[in-house]
Structures are given as structure tokens and as C-alpha cells.
Structure 1
Amino acid sequence: MDKFKTVLSIAANKQTNLGFVALLTAGGEQIFSGAVFRCPCNDWNFFYGMVFLLVPALALLVLGYILSKNTWKLFTGLCIRKSKLSELCSLKPIIGVTIMFLQITTTAVVAPLSWIAVALLDGYYFECAFTGVTLSVYKDHLCGSTMSQSTCQEELYKFPCPGKSTVPDKDDVLATLRAESQIMGWLVIASIIVSYLILTCVTRCKSPISYLQVTFWRAYAQEENDMLESYIAKHAKELAERNLKSFFQQMPPAPITSPSNQDWQKISRFYRFNPNDPYYSIMHQKVYPILNKPLDSSLCEQQGFLSIEDLDVRVAVRALDEDDDTAGGRLSAVSFS
């Protein structure tokens, strides 16, 4: 169980690394097909093969949504916050939510599409599934006119299992099935690459900022996200230690400042970069007014500094005209940060 949790943790942290997800999925499919898959070689062939081909892909898609932090950022509290529900009734928020959901989906579909592509390139699931197809046209395509329909179907069931069929053309039929499977696999891979290229080109073409600024924005967002997680863990630990210390020592708790519920709500929103604003994230937008807010005078005296905005320049100019010693004494009490 610990190893499974470790794998899920790695997958969650590396989910945005599409190459890592695809490689991990491909390796899992190879192990899965060799250790678990056994074609029944009867009338269950089609159902059994399609289940192994598609159901793991569906499970990976659902797992991709579950492991995505943006999924829970989008849906957490959606059903109980009337203000958010009323906002979603208008067209603009619906478009924004749809775009965000599509972005989550583009990341979540990497693993299932990788599974399907690798499984088709191997051909085992496809061979098992399509030797169980009961369509006369497909049976004619595989068996030709050398067998009757009933004999062809009975023998097709046995083709994936070595030693069960005595038909001399069995290897040719399996080679045809494997060739068709591999062609479909390469078409899936090509469609993924072309779709990714088109999506990237359209996104970059409509980008209001330069390539280097996009690179900086992504680097900043990644660093902020990583540091936010460490700050949350650190603050939670400090608060827990404060509460436990207060309980066991039976003393008043030391003051610890924590963000309000409104602050948590604000930084949990999605942020769309606007080149007209000097912000790179919703956190940046949240703290920017704090950075430009005038500091309280009593707090400044306690901390031993004053902000430049609070300094009256005219008083400083008058002080320079006075006696040097007096002016120096006055100005030495002012520290700039």
C-alpha cells in the first residue's frame, strides 16, 4: 500500500509532465499485458479483449481527473456557494469554466490515449477481440473462401491461443490482425501529436505576451505553487504545535496570524493572465494591495521603519536647512525598507 501511495504521489506531482505520464503508462501496459491478460479463446474473445483495451483507459482518465488539483479547485464548494452558482448562469463564467475544464481534460487524456496507443501497437488485445467478431464481412476478410462461416468462427476463437487451432493459415490471419492493430496505434499517436501541435500553435498565436514572458510566467507559477504547498504545511505545523502546547501546558495560546476564509476563497480562484495588469497569479493579485497599503504608524514605530509613502518629503527638506547635528539626529531615527 505504501508503494501504491508513492506511485500516486509521483503521478500527481508529475501530471503536467506529459512525457513522464506517457512513459509510465506504457510501462504499466507492458507489465499488465504480460502478467494479467489471457485470451479465453471462445465466444468471450471480443468482450474480453475490448475490456482490456478500453476499461483501463477509462480508469486512467478518471484517475487523471482525480489527481488533478485544478479539478478540485474548480469544483470545491461549487454546490453550496450561491454567489458562484449565480455567476455561472451568465455566459462569460460558463466559457471560463469550459476552457478550464478542457485544459484539465487535455492533461487527463494523456494516460488513457497512451494506454490505447501502446496496446494497439502490441496487438494482443486487438487480436483477441477481433477473433471473436461475429460479422460475416469480417470473417470473410480473415478466412476468405476456404472455410465455411461456422468453421471459420470456431477456428477464429482459437487463433490467439497457441496449439489450440490446426488451421495452417492461422499465422497469416494473426499477422493481418496485428498489422491492422499497429496501423491504428500509429494513427492514434499521430493524431495526438498533430492535435497537440495545432492546440499549441493556436494558443501561442493568440498569446498577448512574448515567448520569454510566457516562459517566465510558467516558471513563476510553478515556483509559487511549490512554495505555497511548503508554506501551508509549515503554517499548519506551527498552528498545531501552538494548540497542543497550549493544551498540555494549560496556558493561553500565543498569537498566530492566519488568512481569513475570504482570503482562502480569493487565492483559490483561477487566474487568467492579463498583460494590462502587473500580476502573474491570483496570489500576486491578492498581495499587491497589501504591498501598496500605507503602514500603520504605531506598527512602523514598533518595527523601526517607515515606508517611503509615509515620509513627508517637505519635512525632510526643512530638516536639511537646519543645523546639521539636529537634522542628522532626526533623520537617523528613520529607516527605509
Structure 2
Amino acid sequence: MKRFNIFLGLLTKHHRALGMSFLSLLIAGGESLFSNVVFQCPCNATWNLPYSLFFVLVPALVLFLLGYLLSSKAKHMMTGCWAEDQKDTSDKPGPGKCSRRAKRCCKIVCSQITWSASVAPFTWIAVALLGGNYYECGVSGSVWMQKSLCSTVLEQMFNCSEKVVQMPCQKTNPTKSEEIQGILKMFRAHSQMIGWGSVAVIMFFFMLAKFCPLFSSQFTFLQLKFQKIYKKEEKKMLTTELKRHATELAQRNVKCFFENVFLDSVKIPGSDEWKKISVVIDFTDPAYTVLHEYLNKQSPERQDDHQRSVSH
């Protein structure tokens, strides 16, 4: 039982990394299925290139949009992002203008959520290039590649351009010539080199996205660790309180309706309070969360009000 608890603790601690790894394996398996079963190169001069690009880019776009749809952080950031802030009179929304809140939303959405949503499509594209099937089909329909091969390797071949277009469909043909076999191997090598290069570039930019906010952070490493724990606990407690107050309010309203009695009202924050704890804060703000910032601003005001009431 102790070992199981240790294992469960490790899963909980590294659930994000494990989830990303599982997602990458799932995407790699899906791409392999698409590449070997669904994808069938038309071997046509007009359709080879667009057909291959369609199979590479459209699933990547779908995965990217799915990453946004499944992101709870994106929903939080985008809710009311373009709503007019009446207190922000210095930068009212209008033609060619964005509210300050919208600018903050765009900054965080573009920097954080977009990178997270890009993991799945980048994985799809990289695995597709490492497989080589899409590249073989697409590049065989390229006019530039046809001219290059027909002027060098296949100079003596009759109807050279048509032969190049038909090459992806001859992979399973046992009678194919050594020249065609060598060209297909060259296509696959090009695809794999581009794939590994893309993986290296993507990992470099992900590393920058990971460490650049740390370079400019006002917090120390232990403070960031404390902030992470605090956010987790605050989210857990806030969810519990939301559920409790919503249940109390529902019970009160239903009871008032059926029993025709008026009960004491349930204390719920007003609209202004909800807005204040739902705004987007910058990375450089000293508060750990929006709720923390809101309470830090409220504390001095409440102390001043208390002192005024005592003095009177």
C-alpha cells in the first residue's frame, strides 16, 4: 500500500508532463494510422502537393483549435476580454483601439495558452515529416523537384515528369528500378532531416518560452514554488466554496418557492467583486493570484474605514 501511495504521489506530481507524453504518443499513433491506412497518394501532377499539404496542415490546425477549446485557462482569459471597462476611461474601445484589459488578454493568450495549444500540432507535423510518406507524395508533385531530377538523375528517362509523379505509387512495386528506389530513399531522408530539424527548433523555442519569464521574474525559486502550491490550494478551496454557496442559494430559492416563505438571503459577492477577481494581471504583478491582489487592495481600505468608525 505504501508503494502504491508513492506511485500515486508521483503521478499526481508529474501529471502535466505525463499527460503531454501520453498525448504525444497518442498523436504519433494516430499519425501512423493516417499515414499507412487513410493517406493514399493520388500520384497526379495537380493533386500530389496540395493533397499532402492538406493531410499535414489541416489535422495540425484541428489539434491547435482543440487545444484552445479544451483549455480552461483560455476560457478564463477570454471571458469578457473585449468587454468595455467603464473605469478605464484613458483607453476606451473604439476604431483601431483595444481596451487595456484586451491588451493584457492578448499578451497572456499569445504567450502562454498558444504555446500549450501548439504542442499537439507541432508533434503531428514532426511525426509526419519523420515518417516521410507525405513528403514523398508532395515533393513528387513539385515542378521544381521534377525539373531538378529530370535534368540530372533521370535525364535519359522518357516522360520524366510523369515518372516522378508516379514514384510514390511504386513503393510496393517489386520491379521498380534502382534509380527510383534511390530517389524515394532520398525523399525520405530529406523528410526526416527536416523533421529532426523542426523538432530541434521547436524545442529551442519551447525552452525560451519556459525560461524567459523566469529571467524577468520578481520572485525567487522558492517563492515560485510557494506560489504554485498556493494557486493549487486556492483553486481547490475556491471551487469548494463556489459549490457550497451555489448549493445554499439553490436550496433557499427552491424552498422559498415551494413553501411560500421568505428566508434569509445568502451572502454572495456583487458583480463588481466578481469582475475584480476575474481580471487578467501581468506577470510582473507582486500578487500571487488575482484574488490575492484584490484582497491586498481591500485590506488598507477596510482598515481606513475601521479607523474612521472608531474615531467617530
Q: Pick the aligned partner of 1:102 from 91, 98, 110.
A: 110
Alpha-carbon distance in structure 1 between the residues aligned to 2:271 and 2:17: 29
Alpha-carbon distance in structure 1 between the residues aligned to 2:233 and 2:242: 14
Aligned to 2:28: 26
- How many residue pairs get matched? 285
Change (3 A) 1:223 1:15: farther
Structure index of larger Rg:
1
Q: CA offsets, 1:80-121, max 9 Å, x none?
A: 425369356489767634431322212121111111011111
Alpha-carbon distance in structure 1 between the residues aligned to 2:44 and 2:173: 11
SS at match of 1:218: helix
Indicate yes or no: 2:259 matched with 1:264: no
Whether contact under 8 Å (1:134, 1:153) holds in the other structure is no
Aligned to 2:142: 133
Q: Aligned letter for 1:75?
A: M
Q: Pick the aligned partner of 1:51 from 50, 54, 60.
A: 54
Alpha-carbon distance in structure 2 between the residues aligned to 1:233 and 1:15: 29
Aligned to 1:63: 66
Aligned to 2:293: 285
Change (3 A) 1:188 1:155: closer
Whether contact under 8 Å (2:85, 2:99) holds in the other structure is no
Indicate yes or no: 2:183 matched with 1:173: yes
Whether contact under 8 Å (2:27, 2:123) holds in the other structure is yes
Change (3 A) 1:100 1:289: closer
Higher relative contact order (CA 8 A, sep 6+): 2
Q: Aligned letter for 1:41?
A: C
Q: CA offsets, 1:289-317, max 9 Å, x none?
A: 666746x99xxxxxxxxxxx9xx9xxxxx
Indicate yes or no: 2:223 matched with 1:213: yes
Give, in angstroms, the shift of residue 163 of structure 1: 4.6
Matches within 5 A, 1:60-209: 60-83=63-86, 86=91, 89=97, 96-103=104-111, 104-135=113-144, 136-140=146-150, 143-148=153-158, 150-160=159-169, 162-163=171-172, 166-169=175-178, 170-209=180-219
Q: Using the aligned pairs only, state the percent identity.
A: 31
Give, in angstroms, the shift of residue 143 of structure 1: 4.8
Range with greater deviation from structure 2 (124-133 or 244-253): 244-253
Matches within 5 A, 1:217-232: 217-232=227-242
Alpha-carbon distance in structure 2 between the residues aligned to 1:271 and 1:115: 33
Alpha-carbon distance in structure 2 between the residues aligned to 1:125 and 1:16: 29
Alpha-carbon distance in structure 2 between the residues aligned to 1:221 and 1:101: 19
TM-score, normalised to structure 1, is 0.70
Give, in angstroms, the shift of residue 122 of structure 1: 1.1
Matches within 5 A, 1:231-310: 231-272=241-282, 277=286, 279-288=287-296, 293=302
Alpha-carbon distance in structure 2 between the residues aligned to 1:30 and 1:24: 10
Unaligned segments of structure 1, at least 5 residues: 1-12, 298-308, 313-337
Whether contact under 8 Å (2:104, 2:282) holds in the other structure is no
Change (3 A) 1:234 1:125: farther
Whether contact under 8 Å (2:130, 2:191) holds in the other structure is yes
Change (3 A) 1:212 1:161: farther
Whether contact under 8 Å (2:167, 2:184) holds in the other structure is no
Q: CA offsets, 1:61-97, max 9 Å, x none?
A: 2222222333333332344425369356489767634
